Amino acid sequence: MGLSRDSVGIKSVDCGLEIKKRREDDKVIALAGNPNVGKSTVFNEMTGMNQHTGNWPGKTVANAQGYASDGEQGYVMVDIPGCYSLMAHSTEEEVARDFICFENPDAVIVVCDATCLERNLNLVLQILEANRRAVVCVNLMDEAKKKSITIRFDVLEERLGVPVIGTTARSGKGLEQIYEGLNRVLELKREMVEAEEVEAEEATEAKEATEAEEAVEAEKSVDRRFAENPAPRILIRYPEYIEAAIARLTPAVKKTAGEGVNIRWLCARLLDSNENLMEAVRKYLTPVAESEEVSSLLMEIREEWQERGISQKQVSDDMASVFIRKAEFLCRGAVVFENQTYDKKDRLLDRLFTSKATGFPIMFLILLGVFWLTITGANYPSELLSSGLFWLEDRISDLFLAAGMPVVLNDLLVHGVYRVLAWVISVMLPPMAIFFPLFTLLEDFGYLPRVAFNLDRCFKRCAACGKQALTMCMGFGCNAAGIIGCRIIDSPRERLIAMITNNFVPCNGRFPTMIAIITMFFVGSAAGAFSSVLSAAILAGVIVLGVLMTLLISKILSATVLKGVPSSFTLELPPYRKPQIGKVVVRSIFDRTLFVLGRAIAVAAPAGLIIWLMANISVGDATLLAHCSGFLDPFARVIGMDGVILLAFILGFPANA
């Protein structure tokens, strides 16, 4: 069911996601946090799903949902994109902000990184200002322990006023306590709703009372009830001039905003005048945006500020500094660093992987090593698999003929469909089964963001965004994922360049074909270990050529049809993490290898059937295949090919989808 709230003045958030509840009383829980804090891992562990996770920022660029339960209460978990702030500057931050602030979920789980908690608390405070029904999940406690970082959860919980839970999501430790925290905040929500209903009822009775004594008694009753259920304390206190403006603005905003948004948060954001947020207010809170009373009050307040020499930039800076100082205060005494040199090893590795002198050579050597292992390791399994599958072809054919199957049908199924599938499996499966785990190990180790960092300077010289380096790295795994990942690029111009050029990066599905071509045409005469090294070097050269083509086309587009100045790029380099090899192998085989192989088989089976039919059905003195190649031959000659090659290209075209 959707979460449309037109009845209270809030339009349903257009986030491309329809919330689906299994039961009417299921609660909708938003899962928020900075990029690369293990948010998707928490989501997977709680829902039993398999969202793609990785040790680099920007893995989640759209909302995903799953179902979780503590045995009694059901929860629809919504994994929203990681963001550093609700003051949206990119598409993923807009998706996160809109869902948290305007979709009004029943509660929010804010996932933080235990190794850099102070920075993460900035987002926690922003979310708590908009929605007090939150649970803070301090993840990666295993890494914090290794780095001798101690966190006093009782102190943080007392200062924040919401449950604070320590977890290690990769092993599932502490996740059960999240359900307890959710129950606490949801119970508080129920109490507050009941208190509001009683207040409204008793206030109505007081208004309708004809005798003054009854009205006074009713008001006292309301006061007593409110005292028993006090409003949540205000975590964020702005400078006096901003607090005074919020107080003036609150009554007017409250009249038009409805019940689905935090009034204090909305008043503060209206005063901040962030353009992206104002656009969201106009979209989801139209009555507020169109209110003449609110507009006139805002104008009066800004005029008064101008008379006092307070600029809009100063207001925004003062608001931002409040969150920073509050985060510092929260961590004081609550987070203890027993070892001040805990990140020394990371800094040493970064000097090797990201320096101008060693960054690119190491990157090329790692690339060469991965391809050498892929090619060398795939040779023998591929031969073994091919021999086994083609031995099985004869047995299957004998079995079909013995069962009385017509010869034509036997040839169609065995020599047409099965033979093509055998070739596809024997060529594609071994290289993918080796490359995917190696690629995932580099991803989980934290090396891919360093590749993006090294390439940032190159993309900036091409007047493109440095984030394009991240989407290009995603393209090595899958071009479709790389194009979807382009949402993290703010500028439409730079986003379009990244999408257009992503196809120059060969995805892993093309590697088996490239390896086969290199083996047949370039290293067929070489022998021994040199053959594998040469194959790996040529494949690495093809990858480098793809990167260079990406840069060249980006430069040409930026200088011609898509002119513009490159935008700034801030990249978070995640800590180096020891990959969980067992999980990496399983995830790579089931999520990537078998998935890509399944897509290839789905295309290869009907293609094999069509090719066999065209090769065996004759029209006149030639087969359909010969007629087609003859028809295409004049067109193929224009581009330096012949009809047979062009026909093969056309028959293989569906696989490129």
CATH (domain of 249): 3.40.50.300
The residues, ordered by sequence, that sit 6+ positions from 113 with a Cβ below 8 Å of its Cβ are 34, 36, 37, 38, 120, 139, 140
Same domain, 161 and 274: yes
Residue 196 has pLDDT above 60, yes or no: no
Was 122 annotated as part of a binding site?
A: no
Let me know whether 306 and 432 are in one domain. no
Residue closest to 219 by CA, chosen among 238, 204, 240:
204
Residue 305: inside a domain, yes or no? yes
Task: Give, as one character, the DSSP assignment of residue 574.
Answer: P
- Where do runs of H (alpha helix) occur along 209-274? 212-228, 240-257, 263-272
Do 175 and 285 share a domain, yes or no?
Answer: yes
Q: Which of 554, 581, 608 is the last residue of a domain?
A: 581
Domain range for residue 230? 1-341
Structure tokens at 656: 């490129």
What pLDDT does 190 receive? 64
Q: Report the distance separating Cα 545 and Cα 518, nearest Å.
A: 15
In a shared domain, residues 374 and 309: no
Query: Which stretch of 51-65, 74-88, 350-364 has the lowest confidence by average pLDDT?
Result: 51-65
* Domains contained in the chain, number: 2
Answer yes or no: do 409 and 308 share one domain: no
- Amino acid, res. 503: N
What one-letter code names the amino acid at 204? Answer: T
446 is in an annotated binding site: no
590 domain-assigned:
no
Phi-psi region of 404 (alpha: psi -120 to 50; beta: other; left: phi over 0): left
Provide the 10 A C-beta neighbour count for residue 444.
23
The reply, when asked if residue 376 is annotated as ligand binding, is no
Q: Is residue 78 part of a domain?
A: yes
27 is in an annotated binding site: no
Considering only 141-150, 180-189, 497-506, 586-595, which range has the smallest mean pLDDT? 586-595
Q: Is the dihedral of CA 352, 541, 648, 397 positive or negative?
A: negative
Closest CA to 132 of 262, 278, 301: 262
Q: What is the pLDDT of residue 253?
A: 92
Is residue 79 annotated as involved in ligand binding? Answer: yes
* Long-range Cβ pairs for the range 141-148 (8 Å, 24+): 141/114, 141/166, 141/167, 141/168, 141/173, 141/174, 142/168, 142/170, 142/171, 142/173, 143/114, 143/115, 143/575, 143/577, 144/114, 144/115, 147/115, 147/339, 147/342, 147/343, 148/337, 148/338, 148/339, 148/342
Evaluate whether 318 touches 140 at the Cβ level (below 8 Å): no
Contact 322, 238 (CB under 8 A): yes
Residue type, 518: I
DSSP per-residue codes, 177-222: HHHHHHHHHHHHHHHHHHHHHHHHHHHHHHHH-SSHHHHHHHHHHH
Q: Is 263 annotated as a binding residue?
A: no
301 and 397 both lie in a single domain: no
Spatial separation of the C-alpha atoms in residues 33 and 122, rounded to whole Å? 10
Q: Which of 307, 341, 375 is where one domain is finished?
A: 341
The residue with greater pLDDT, 473 or 380, is 380
Known binding residue 166? Answer is no
Is 141 known to sit in a ligand binding site?
yes
Which phi and psi angles does 182 have, rounded to 5°? -60, -40
Q: Is residue 646 part of a domain?
A: no
Confidence of residue 598 (pLDDT cuts 50, 70, 90): confident
Is-contact 108 127, C-beta < 8 A?
yes
Residue 529 pLDDT: 62
Q: What is the mean pLDDT of residues 251-268?
A: 87
Residue 16 lies in a domain: yes
Q: How far apart are CA 657 and CA 655, in angstroms?
A: 5
Q: Flag whether 167 is marked binding.
A: no
Q: Give the separation between CA 451 and CA 453, rounded to whole angstroms.
A: 5
pLDDT for res 152: 94
| Whether residue 276 is found in the same domain as residue 405 | no
Domain-embedded: residue 641: no
Angle at 652 between CA 646 and CA 657, to 5 degrees: 130
Q: Is 369 annotated as a binding residue?
A: no
Confirm or deny that 174 is annotated as ligand binding.
no
Of 341, 370, 400, the residue that ends a domain is 341
- For 62, the 3-state DSSP assignment is coil
Q: Does 58 show up as a binding residue in the annotation? A: no
Contact 34, 86 (CB under 8 A): no
DSSP letters, 112-179, are: EEGGGHHHHHHHHHHHHHH-S-EEEEEE-HHHHHHTTEEE-HHHHHHHHSS-EEE-BTTTTBTHHHHH
pLDDT tens per residue across span 392-434: 998 999 999 999 899 989 899 998 889 888 888 887 788 778 8
38 labelled ligand-binding = yes
Average pLDDT, the chain: 80
Which has the closest alpha carbon to 288: 242, 249, 236?
249
Residues 183 and 317 in one domain: yes
The answer to whether 39 is a known ligand-binding residue is yes
